[in-house]
Amino acid sequence: MTLKEHKKHTPLTRLTGNFGRNEWAIVGGYCTTIKLLADQVIGVLSPKYKCAYADTSHNDEAIASPGRLSSGAILEYTDQINHRQFNYIEQITPFKQRQIFAEADLILVNGNHQQAKAQVVIIDINKRASLQKRIEQLTSVQLFLLADNAHELFDFIKKTIPHWQQIPVLKLGETDKIIAFFADKLQMAKPVLNGLVLAGGKSTRMGYDKGSVNWHGKQQRYHMADMLSSLCNEVFISCRSGQEDTNTQYPTLEDTFTGLGPYGAILSAFREKPDCSWLVVACDLPLLDEKTLQYLVDNRNPSKLATTFGNGYEGFPEPLITIWEPKSYAVLLSFLAQGYSCPRKVLINTDPQLLIAPDTNALLNVNTPEELEKVKSILKQPTLL
């Protein structure tokens, strides 16, 4: 008899990288060259993407801690005129770094001092020895840049880097092509869009399962899933424990954050596939149509935390007709840790992409028998249960 291997912790998909999903260390050049290149890339891409930069100070002298840190504070926050500043006394671990950089789409790192998941390598004759010392850090080289004094890759690069012939080579002065390289990488890294139909509610106010109402020739949960299927890579139906339905073409996704309603369903989806974006729709939206969903997808902004309609209930963002990006996962968890489980509150207190729905009736949800009668009068047809 073979015993199954004991696993102490639940297996989860982990975020790789020291800072975030899309990080590149620029290594092999002078620090001034790396900073200038980072400035040029960030300057062009920042209007569309949230960009970040990581480096280490060159001041090797022991200096006193700034401000109140010298008095024993562990953290000091200053609201400057045009930026905000945090000073930490404690070492920043990769876990903390990933929290801080969570919303960044592009993270450039001075590879002379910090490491990143992928690398851009500058070939500079004057920095040959320095680069050779860092050869073990070149784990995923994606671009070579030739300085003015270099015409080919170093021999030790060719011996150490697998498939170096397939890695693109540009001149360091070809700024436009370098920027285009990063723009292409970010476009390729756009998260896959999955669909999630929220059907795990208890429908207490309605008195019966809202997801089973037949507005359009089939149960509403399946009608919503059908609309999402043409817009999403995969479509799942969210459900409570014991509510799984095997008589459907759509897989169910059971809530693993129980007792939190839609908030728990969204978190459960990210727990299952944290690198995907989720187009989340409630099953109590009988007037929601493909045109409205297509408009949401066409105007999606992956650089934002979420893309949603800003003319929902009482003018607030509508969290249950929303595309939630992977970067929202950490934010949703942080709100939960502070005692909040309202997805609308997350949208109000962050910076989502807000759209105006082409037809406001599409946002109308049905939670009570009175609201049901209102929608029936709009549709002018009987509702089958």
- pLDDT tens for 34-70 read 999 999 999 999 999 999 999 998 766 567 788 899 8
Separation CA 29–CA 174 (nearest Å): 15
The beta strands (E) that lie in 128-208 are given as: 141-146, 169-171, 193-198
Going by C-alpha positions, the residue among 178, 146, 171, 162 that lies closest to residue 41 is 178
**pTM greater than the 0.75 cutoff:** yes
Q: Six-digit token pair at 300?
A: 């999606």
Identify the burial level of 128 via C-beta atoms within 10 angstroms of its C-beta, where 0-12 means exposed, 13-18 middle and 19 or more buried: middle
> Rounded to whole angstroms, how far apart are CA atoms 108 and 37?
10
Residue-wise pLDDT for 179-217, tens only, equals 999 999 999 999 999 999 998 655 444 444 555 666 666
For residues 24 and 107, the answer to whether their CB atoms sit within 8 Å is: yes
CATH number for the domain whose boundaries are 193-379: 3.90.550.10
CA distance 216 to 384: 9
Residues of the chain with CATH 3.90.550.10: 193-379
Comma-separated ranges of CATH 3.40.50.300 domains in the chain: 23-55+74-188
91-96 contacts, C-beta under 8 A, 24 or more apart: 94/18, 94/19
Q: Look at residue 379 in the predicted model and tell me its pLDDT.
A: 66
Q: Kindly indicate whether the domain formed by 23-55+74-188 is annotated with CATH number 3.40.50.300.
A: yes
Q: Cα–Cα distance between 373 and 385 in angstroms, integer?
A: 14
Least trusted range by pLDDT, from 157-166, 187-196, 239-248, 261-270:
239-248
| pLDDT computed for residue 208 by the predictor | 47
Mean pLDDT along residues 83-107 = 92
Note the pLDDT of residue 201. 54
**178-182, 218-222, 276-280, 378-382: segment of lowest average pLDDT:** 378-382
Q: Work out whether the CA dihedral 289, 295, 298, 301 comes out positive or negative.
A: negative
